[in-house]
Each structure stands twice: as C-alpha cells, then as structure tokens.
Amino acid sequence: MNDVYFLQVELLNNIGINHGWFTRYGGVSAGKYSSLNGKKGMDDPDDNVIKNRKRAVRGLLKGSTRELSHIIHNFEDSILTINKAGEFIGYDASITTNNKVVLSQSTADCATLILASIDGGVVGLVHGSWHTLAKEIICKTVAKMKSHTSSEIVAGIGPMICKNCYEFGPEAKRIFKSEYIQAYNKKFKVDLKEMVIDQLRISGVSRIEDVNVCTYEDDRFFSARRNGSLSGRFITLASI
C-alpha cells in the first residue's frame, strides 16, 4: 500500500488532537482524481473514495480501522454534533466530544479549519466556503463548541486558496465586505483567509496556527480553481 501524507500544526499536536490535512498522494484513484480523492459522486468510483478514506484513517491513527463521520457540505451554516460513524449530508461543520469518532470532510480551495478545546474534550471541523463564511460559520461553530467546554478553543488553518489566486468578477463588491477584496485587472482578488482569521478573533480564538499552503499554487493538493469543478477533493481528519 502506498503511504499517505498529511500536514499538521504543533498547536493541535501539543494538546493531543489527532489531525491531518491530507495531500492527494497515496490513494487508489486514477486520472484527474489521482490519487487520494475524498469525494463521492464524481467520475471516480465511490468504492475508490471509501478505500481512500480508510487509508487516511489508517495513516493518521497508525493502522486503526475506526470508521469516519464524514460531512458533505451544502454551502449553508449547518453544524452537526456527531457521536457515531456515518456519512452526513447537508452540513458545513461538525463537532464531537466522543473519542471514538473521527471527523472527516473533503475540500478543494475552501478554507478547512480544525478547532479544539485545550483540555482535549471537544474537536470541530469547519468547511469555510465563501458562502458559509458570509454566514459566519466559524463564529457559530465556536459558540456551539463552547457549550461543551469552558476551556480555551484553539484553531488550525489548513490548506486553502490564497488571496493572490482567488478571483471574482464585479459580484465581489456585492458579496464581500470591502476590507476583503482588492481590485485587480478589472477583477477582484478575495482574501478568504482574512475572513477566517477575523471570525476566529471575534469568537475569542486568539491562538491560531496556519499551515500557510495555497491549494491553487501547491499541486500536492486538489484545487477546483486550478483543475476545474470536477477536481478531486482532499481529506481532512480530526479526532480527540
């Protein structure tokens, strides 16, 4: 079996949070989905995706066969508290206090955050598309996590598209606050990461670590902006 590769942040390692933002390498998918694609419902057979997700779990948790709790986003602000394995459609964030649950999501370019309490009692994943960030998905997820703990919440920011590569047309002026956009060559560059950081700070999350990787620029990761909407999606996992 090929090895899988993932990024981590020390901030989460130091409090014992199992986590990883997985590159596209080490899976079974072929072609434009090569090879650790985490999204079903595409030209890539679903059986490949299931195998890829299992490889990711085994790679992160040293051979574990624990089942995933995988969320499939809907560009809204729905947050699911999970206590069992399964695939849950229509959620853009998930949290758990169950150490037998492995939270999972798949993305390409959108922000992907891992949140955790420093006592290790609760962990969360956030899929930060521009749609969900506009609806303050991070603030809402942190608030929900705080209902489970009195401990400080910290955050890891995974690979996502950077402001230099994320372009919109004139609709950007309608969608985003002016501080997040910059006019450029008759288009607008949009800074999703600044939106993420602002929402974290508003929520009282002051300790933040960023892997500082742009999915568009770094071909270790899938990118819908670079490869088209039928690109694969990279896997993010987190558990307490």
Does residue 60 sit within a domain?
yes
Instruction: Supply the angle between the helices 137-146 and 192-202 in degrees, to the nearest 10.
Output: 30
Q: Apex CA 227: angle with CA 224 and CA 229, to 5°?
A: 45
Under 8 Å CB-to-CB from 67, ≥6 apart: which residues? 85, 86, 102
Does residue 24 sit within a domain?
yes
Give the pLDDT score at 233. 98
Q: 164 is written with which tokens?
A: 């230099």
Give the pLDDT score at 77. 86
d(CA 80, CA 11): 24
User: What is the length of the chain?
Assistant: 240
As to burial, measured by CB atoms within 10 angstroms (0-12 exposed, 13-18 middle, 19+ buried), residue 14 is exposed
Q: Which amino acid is at 208?
A: I
Mean pLDDT of 210-222: 98
Provide the domain limits for residue 79: 6-161+193-239
| pLDDT at residue 2 tops 80 | no
Does residue 85 sit within a domain?
yes
CA 76 remoteness from chain centre: 15
Does residue 168 sit within a domain?
no
Give how many domains the chain has, as a whole number. 1
Average pLDDT score over the chain: 96
Mean pLDDT of 105-133: 97
DSSP secondary structure string, 59-123?
A: HHTTT--PPEEEEE--SS--EEE--S-EEEES-SEEEE--TT-EEEEEESSSEEEEEEETTSS-E
Which pLDDT tens digit goes with each residue over 58-102? 999 997 878 899 999 888 889 999 999 999 999 999 999 999 999
H or E element in which residue 127 lies: strand 123-128
Give the pLDDT score at 74. 85
Q: 119 is written with which tokens?
A: 């006592």
Query: Residue 179 CB: number of other CB atoms within 10 A?
Result: 10
Helices first, then strands: H and E counts in the chain: 7, 15
| pLDDT at residue 1 tops 60 | no
Q: Is 27 helix (H, G, I), strand (E, B) or coil?
A: coil
Does residue 166 sit within a domain?
no
d(CA 194, CA 49): 32
Which pLDDT tens digit goes with each residue over 180-199? 999 999 999 999 999 999 99
Does residue 153 sit within a domain?
yes
Q: Is 14 helix (H, G, I), strand (E, B) or coil?
A: coil
Does residue 21 sit within a domain?
yes
pTM for the whole structure: 0.96
Residue 13, domain CATH: 3.60.140.10
Does residue 80 sit within a domain?
yes
Q: Apex CA 81: angle with CA 79 and CA 82, to 5°?
A: 125
